[in-house]
Amino acid sequence: MATSGSLRYWHKRVTDSVYARQVGTTMAGRVLQLFIALGTTAMTARWLGPGGKGQLAILLLAPYLLQLALNLGIGDANVYFTGSQRLSVAQLSANSVAFALLSSAAGAVIVLLLLSSGELSVLLPGIPLNCLLLSLLSFPVNLLSLYLQAILRGLRLIFVWNVLNLVQAALVLALMPVFVAWLELGVAGALLAYLLPQAVVLLLTALTLRSEGARFRPRWNPGVVRPTLHFGVKGFIANLLDFFNYRLDSFLVNFFVGPSGAGIYSASVALAELLWQFPISAAAIMFPKAAASSHETMNRFTPRVFWITLAVSALGAAGLVAVGKLAILIIYSRTFLDAYTPLLALLPGVVLVGSARILNNDVGGRGFPHYNSITAGLALVVTVVLDLLLIPRMGVLGAAVASSVSYAVMFALSVGFYLAVSRGRSRPPEVIVAIPRAFDA
């Protein structure tokens, strides 16, 4: 309880309701997490090599995929209903525990079915089964943590949320040399270094929310279940499709090229996604702000954030072109130099989709998350087609080109939907026709 009170005190001191202050706090937290993550990445790259690094990347993605498939969008619903004050923290927290238990049971059934049929080894070739089962233990912990931290965002306790994420990153960095270098547990040790901090942060999140009135006994209240599920499913589809847009290529590289190729590609992706630090920070605060603000306020506010985000991302991309090869040498070692060319191919799309996040969260916060599902679904079609065409022919570079083109499609669709929603249409007609007018507003 003392920890919770201290976090609450520093939240009041450091941040307030001003969007720019909250984005600044989030950005600072993400930059600190970034430096910590780079240290962790450097350790795993050198101690595990490209093959082990590729296995670890897939092992961390597997439970995340299960989480995305079964979270039902309750996290997005928690942000929306907390921010709009339509449901209480006590109602949403009890509802979150109930949904987490249900989804965890469903996840266990899915894993058992895949194990008994032998499909797990087919879907993830080259991945040790014992490590895969260990990684899947993180699913229920991360799922409940996702739900509860969404309530923090809805309450706009942004500093608290950032501190918790920073604590998790720091614990991973501290435990990695213990389990991998000292105990010599290899990939399994690296997984443990990720799993234990997740449990610690879930506990801290629960303690923080308890002081805000949260209740953790699961409860199926129809007056809470119906609206959260109705809103959540619309956003859930978008999040699930977004995952495939962002991560399907990693699985396909592992399938067509092998774990070493996946390790090289994971380095390219990690460096390219450095450009998302500012867009993610700004978009994370945009959702609860849009839920709590008027239509007119957001129409004035969002375009300014969009253009700033696009400019910052473009400048960051120019910097990565200049120093990317040196960064690969310093962080990953010479064996990962092949990651530089795929990095260059990823940059244009990464710049565009980063600014699209601002528009997507504005649209979702106004109550239209299903439009983001349409955007993600159409972009996914592009991803799948290009991945299957290019990866067998071009390897890792083909995955990068496919992703960049898909991100550009996502950007164009996001602009079209935002223009339709911001102009007051309940159902955007002829979205594709609206896209060329995106920059006339």
Quote the pLDDT of residue 39: 81
Quote the pLDDT of residue 298: 83
Measured at the alpha carbon of residue 142, what is the angle toward residues 407 and 71, in degrees to the nearest 5? 65
pLDDT category at 202 given cuts 50, 70, 90 is very high
pLDDT category at 112 given cuts 50, 70, 90 is confident
CA 58/CA 42 separation, integer angstroms: 17
Task: Check: CB of residue 179 under 8 Å from CB of residue 190.
Answer: yes
Quote the pLDDT of residue 284: 77
Quote the pLDDT of residue 5: 54
CA 276/CA 165 separation, integer angstroms: 16
**Secondary structure (3-state) at 263:** helix
Task: Check: CB of residue 151 under 8 Å from CB of residue 83.
Answer: no
Phi-psi sector, 122: left (phi>0), alpha (psi -120 to 50), beta: alpha
- Inter-axis angle of helices 222-256 and 74-83, to 10 degrees? 140
Identify the sign of the CA torsion 236, 307, 23, 25: positive
pLDDT category at 2 given cuts 50, 70, 90 is very low
Quote the pLDDT of residue 12: 47
Quote the pLDDT of residue 17: 46
Quote the pLDDT of residue 349: 93
Q: What is the mean pLDDT of residues 8-21?
A: 50
CA 418/CA 438 separation, integer angstroms: 9
Q: What is the mean pLDDT of residues 206-219?
A: 92
Tokens of 230: 């109705």
CA 105/CA 94 separation, integer angstroms: 17
pLDDT digits (tens, 9 = 90+) for 309-329: 899 999 999 999 999 899 888
What does pLDDT average to over the chain?
Answer: 82
With residues binned 3-state (H G I as helix, E B as strand, rest as coil), the percentages for the chain, rounded to 5, are 85, 0, 15
CA 81/CA 232 separation, integer angstroms: 10
Which residue in 263, 49, 41, 51 sits closest to 169, CA to CA?
41
Q: What is the DSSP string of 94-138?
A: HHHHHHHHHHHHHHHHHHHHHHHHTHHHHHSTT--HHHHHHHHTH
The pTM assigned to this predicted structure is 0.69
Quote the pLDDT of residue 429: 40
Quote the pLDDT of residue 146: 92
Identify the sign of the CA torsion 345, 347, 351, 356: positive
Task: Check: CB of residue 154 under 8 Å from CB of residue 162.
Answer: no
pLDDT digits (tens, 9 = 90+) for 50-104: 777 777 877 887 888 788 788 888 988 998 888 778 899 999 999 999 999 999 9
Whether 1 has a pLDDT exceeding 50, the answer reads: no
